[in-house]
Chain A
């Protein structure tokens, strides 16, 4: 079965760049969209952005151009970089598959990683 695993530093200094990687196992990263979603402690979910295996991206405009997503087909991974972080970026960061128009579950985030906590301090 398809599994996603986030990895990266748990602590980032203010004004620096947060970098996370999501490793996809059990299936190819090709022909799917892949997203990042975050959740501050005790708060709701926020969609960060998504990337297609060809590199097409869509970003949350409220993050003011601080996001860059990339994909590496050779390692079956996709990554997030968030620049100029502040305490407001402290959250659990999830990677997820989707949304896309095909598959058994369409236009939804159908598979999620377990999440990784990132603290900006």
Chain B
């Protein structure tokens, strides 16, 4: 199965907003609302920050938001903070009852 497509890197200044896209197909992102996003600071395990496209787990700041249109899901981080600098991954279920991740996006806070 092919990885979902994410931009390799994005950047923004503190206080700004950035959006990370995650493009799949009609067999995964486009067919299910089972898209999740993970934040992974260097040297740590990933942590879920968005589930089912747009829901935030308890404790995740509302600066993080998710959405989906067709085969593309998006993660928006508003009011960027230095602590947001990390790798971000999207993930989706597929028609074959499997799960596929995106290639990851490195967020740099300038």
Contact = CB atoms under 8 A, between A and B. Distances in A.
Interface of A: 35, 37, 43-47, 50, 58-62, 94, 99, 104-110, 112-115
Interface residues of B, number: 27
A106 B58 CA distance: 12
Given A60-B1, A105-B51, A112-B45, A47 B101 contact: yes
Interface of B: 1, 3, 33-34, 36, 38, 45-48, 51-52, 55, 57-58, 89, 91, 93, 96-104
A42 to B, nearest CB: 10
Contact of A47 (B48, B91, B104): B91
A35 B97 CA distance: 13
A44 B3 contact: yes
A50 B99 contact: yes
Contact of A58 (B33, B34, B45, B97): B97
18 contacts: A37-B101, A44-B104, A45-B38, A45-B46, A45-B89, A47-B98, A47-B101, A58-B98, A61-B96, A94-B45, A99-B36, A105-B48, A107-B52, A108-B36, A108-B52, A109-B38, A109-B46, A112-B46
